[in-house]
Chains A and B, each alone.
Chain A
Amino acid sequence: MNPLEFICRTPTFKKRLEVMRPRLFKVAYSWCHAKDIADDLVQDTVIKAMRSASSLRDIEKMNSWLFTILANCWRDYLRRQKPTDDIDECIFTDDSTPELTQERQNITDIVQQAVASLPQGQRQVLSLVDLEGFTYAEVAEIIDIPAGTVMSRLNRARKALSMQLLELKEQNVLTQDIHVRLVK
């Protein structure tokens, strides 16, 4: 990279990093459902991104690059918690978080709890696809798994959520009939 390109890119890099931080936080939160842990993960990601900015060859791929760093930070965190377990299959819940221990009727909490109950490998794929809109190929690169595994984890995640959230149908929360009407 020539010096002029570097000089022009640095403000762009910083600005993009700033813009990405809330998105990184929401995805990190969807993985751990604990705001303090998500906060730490994003902080670690930002620090690592700033340190290794020169390794980013194509600024247009910055989004997937950042989420790769986030995924690695999350993997490191899980390994510290459960060093001998298969982390892709573990179901991580932080018992100390008030978000998951309080009983609420809010549909947002119900859906988030359902997502939190998924094995972490499925949860990661689901959030990268549904929250960030990454392609399957990008997700495969971010979390370093084959594209076929992305599809199968996504399928299992959506099947499991569909079965869990069908209970809400019985409580008439999700599928109340909406009649066509004219709004004045």
Chain B
Amino acid sequence: MNEKKQYSDEHLNAFIDDQLNTAEKAEILDAVRHDTELSQRICKLQKLHNLIQLSYQSVDVPERHQPQKTQNQHIKLKWFAAASFLFTLGSVLGWVSHQTMTANSLTHIAQITHNTIAPHNDKHWKLMLHVSTSNPNRLNIVLDEAEALLNQYENSSRKLELEILANSEGLALVSNNHKNYNKRLQKLQQKYSNLAVLVCGQTLKKAQQIKGKKLTLLPDTNIVPSAINQIVKRQQTGWSYIRI
């Protein structure tokens, strides 16, 4: 008889805080598929973690502790020139490497991955990208790779279902704040019907309570009750999962 393995609260805390190794994380993710109680315990810890993060985001930092802009124009121009050159070089190299694209680039910046099998032998690949960061560089990497994947599969006989799920700080990606990455995501949604964009209802609710007003999301953004429930549901039905 298979007995459910019992995980201590400390072990689950370590899972939420990304303190476990890959094998330990994979074991828990696998156990969550069959254990509703475990899923609920993890969900509760994740909610608490998000709540604490959100509650201190609104702390007003005094002016004197805000970063000062002290670089002079000459130094700024020099760095801008160097950055532009490197960006151009990186873009060319990136374009070349996309010819044999897999999910490897995303896994380089991923915190957790699960079942990221190479899609070459799979006619129908289902991939969830779980975004919980507001770092613009990372968001742009996610969008770069998502766009490359969608483009690659559009012209092949294989099918791709891509879901981008945002929670915690990832809310920035799906809010209609007119940032470059918001506009990019909106364009991808309009162009590709096999791309779905989801946001965690719990994250949205708490963010709106803290800001004291309703937040505007990108059009065609679906709200799901809970990120972890959506993740578990997808993994139970064979989706690949990458958390950024």
Using CB atoms and an 8 Å cutoff, list the residues of chain A in contact with chain B.
Answer: 18-19, 21-22, 24-26, 29-30, 35, 39, 42, 106-108, 111-112, 115, 126-127, 129-131, 135-136, 151-152, 154-155, 158-159, 161-162, 165, 173-174, 176-184
Between A and B, how many residue pairs show CB distances below 8 Å?
A: 115
Chain B, Cβ-Cβ closest to A108 = B55
Among A152, A173, A183, contact of B222 (Cβ-Cβ < 8 Å): A183
B138 at the interface (CB under 8 A from A): no
A112-B48 in contact (CB<8A): no
> Is B210 a contact partner of A183 (Cβ separation < 8 A)?
no
* Cβ contact of B225, chosen from A107, A130, A177, cutoff 8 A: A177
Residues of A within 8 A of B9 (CB): 155, 158-159
Chain B interface residues (CB < 8 Å from chain A): 9-10, 13-14, 17, 19, 44-45, 47-49, 51-56, 58-62, 65-68, 70, 201-202, 204-206, 209-210, 212, 217-225
Q: Are A108 and B205 in contact (CB under 8 A)?
A: no
CB of B56 within 8 A of CB of A180, answer no
- Which of B44, B47, B56, B202 has the most chain A CB atoms inside 10 A of its CB? B56
Q: Are A26 and B56 in contact (CB under 8 A)?
A: yes
CA of A42 to CA of B225 in the docked complex: distance in angstroms? 39
Contact A129–B17 (Cβ < 8 Å): yes
- Given the complex, which residues of A lie within 8 Å of B52, measured CB to CB? 111, 115, 126-127, 130-131, 161
Bound complex: CA of A64 vs CA of B171, how far in Å?
Answer: 27
Decide if B14 touches A181 in the complex (CB within 8 Å).
no
B67 touches A183 (CB 8 A): no
Q: Which of B49, B205, B206 contacts A130 (CB 8 A)?
A: B49
Report whether A112 and B56 are in contact in the complex, using a CB–CB cutoff of 8 Å. Answer: yes
Tell me if B210 and A107 are in contact (CB < 8 A). yes
A161 with B48: CB separation less than 8 A: yes
Q: Known: A111-B51, A112-B56, A162-B48. Is A180-B67 also a contact (CB below 8 A)?
A: no
Given contacts A22-B65, A30-B56, contact A165 B221 (CB under 8 A): no
Cβ contact within 8 Å between A35 and B55: no
Q: A131–B53 contact, CB under 8 A?
A: yes
- The reply to whether B55 and A179 form a contact with Cβ atoms under 8 Å apart is no
Question: With the chains together, A182 CA to B224 CA distance in Å?
Answer: 10
Say yes or no: A165 contacts B14, CB within 8 Å. no
**Once the chains bind, are A183 and B225 in contact (CB under 8 Å)?**
no
Contact call B47/A174, Cβ cutoff below 8 A: yes
CB pair B53 A130 closer than 8 Å: yes
A25 in complex: contacting residue of B51, B61, B68, CB < 8 Å: B61
Q: Which residues of B contact A22 (CB under 8 A)?
A: 61, 65-67
**Closest beta carbon of chain B to A44's beta carbon, Å:** 13
Minimum CB–CB distance from A169 to chain B (whole Å) comes to: 10
Given A130-B53, A131-B52, A165-B48, A26:B59 Cβ within 8 A: yes
Contact yes or no, A180 B55, CB < 8 A: no
Q: Is the CB of B19 within 8 A of A135?
A: yes
Query: Are B210 and A176 in contact, with the CB atoms below 8 A?
Result: no
For A35, the chain B residues whose CB sits under 8 A away are 60, 62
Inter-chain CA distance A126–B205, complex, in Å, is 23
**Structural contact, A24 and B17, CB atoms closer than 8 A:** no
Given contacts A131-B53, A178-B225, is CB(A183)–CB(B219) below 8 Å?
Answer: yes
B67:A19 contact, CB within 8 angstroms? yes
CA distance A135 to B21 in the complex (A): 13
Do residues A155 and B67 form an inter-chain contact, with CB atoms below 8 A? no
